[in-house]
Amino acid sequence: MAMQRIAVVTGANKGIGFGIMKELCKKFDGVVYLTARDEGRGHAAVDELAKLGLTARFHQLDIDNAGSISRFAEYIKKTYGGLDVLVNNAAIAYKNAATEPFGEQAENTIRVNFFGTLAVCHALFPLLRPHARVVTVSSSAGHLRRINGDEPAATALREKFASPSLTEEELCSLMKQFVEKAKDGTWKASGWPGSTYIASKVGVSALTRIQHRAFEADSRPDLVINDCHPGYVDTDMTSHKGTLTIEQGAACPAYLALLPPDIKEPRGQYLWHDKQVVDWVNGPTPAAY
């Protein structure tokens, strides 16, 4: 009996995650798992897909909960023995009008968007099968040039992130440093942007490059990871100010999830919503959201 191929999308009950689910349910040759923190919303989203004639399965997964992550990884391992596609989509963002102190916003945003994503990767990467595809949904906010300014602190920070030998451990230290500086009010003087979301997404984009190097050295053939800016999409996260539809936002992540075997590129790269590869370190970024 042929082995069932398995795809997983995190934070998939609404928005871009739900859009990615629609694409994968149509085009992926295998079982697609919709995961979400909230079981009720997750099941409702699977029912919504069923009304469109699409089949998905649900499993609870909260990327901010270590127990939830390990239960999910154990379930996939026991049930299927492996995984073929992982889309890291789950993330949070504070609104501009948020009243929580900057330090608190930094702690929560980095914990979920960066360390939560990293924890999911640590749990699921050992289960990736040969030719697996991993996609991390970043943002235009995740481009390195968003740590802007010519002052020495910002330049030094960009150089650290851009280093081709940056390790996961060093990156984790940088992310923790941002939270500390956000709490003690010295983030600007240290070269950091005044947006916790930018810091978190620059972090996951840098992480993608590190994970790509690890995949290149992995004994399993043709493991590919990329990250992308899905576009400025009309979702709850953008307070419905985005100009792109959810379908347009899902296009690039779904394309990366479905890259054919042994593709030469993109590998370890940062893509814009129109699927063009963008130089993550130097830019330029395409002007349009």
The 10s digit of each residue's pLDDT in 114-139 is 999 999 999 999 999 999 999 999 99
**Cα atoms in the 13 Å half-sphere on the side-chain side of 31:** 14
Specify the pLDDT at position 198.
Answer: 96
The 10s digit of each residue's pLDDT in 170-185 is 999 999 999 999 999 9
Residues 234, 189 contacting (CB under 8 angstroms): no
Inside any domain, residue 86: yes
Task: Tell me the CATH number at 141.
Answer: 3.40.50.720
Q: Helix 102-109 crosses helix 196-216 at what angle (to 10 degrees)?
A: 20
Number of residues in the chain? 289
Inside any domain, residue 158: no
pLDDT of residue 21 exceeding 50: yes
pLDDT of residue 109 exceeding 70: yes
**Cα atoms in the 13 Å half-sphere on the side-chain side of 40:** 0
| CA 72/CA 81 separation, integer angstroms | 12
pLDDT of residue 236 exceeding 80: no
Inside any domain, residue 232: yes
pLDDT of residue 1 exceeding 60: no
Inside any domain, residue 137: yes
pTM for the complete prediction? Answer: 0.97
Inside any domain, residue 36: yes
Inside any domain, residue 209: yes
Specify the pLDDT at position 287.
Answer: 77
Residues 275-283: what's their mean pLDDT? 96
Among candidate residues 33, 197, 232, 270, the one labeled active-site is: 197
Inside any domain, residue 1: no
Which residues constitute the domain of residue 220? 6-99+112-146+198-278
Inside any domain, residue 93: yes
Look at the chain and report how many structural domains it folds into.
1
Q: Active site includes 80?
A: no
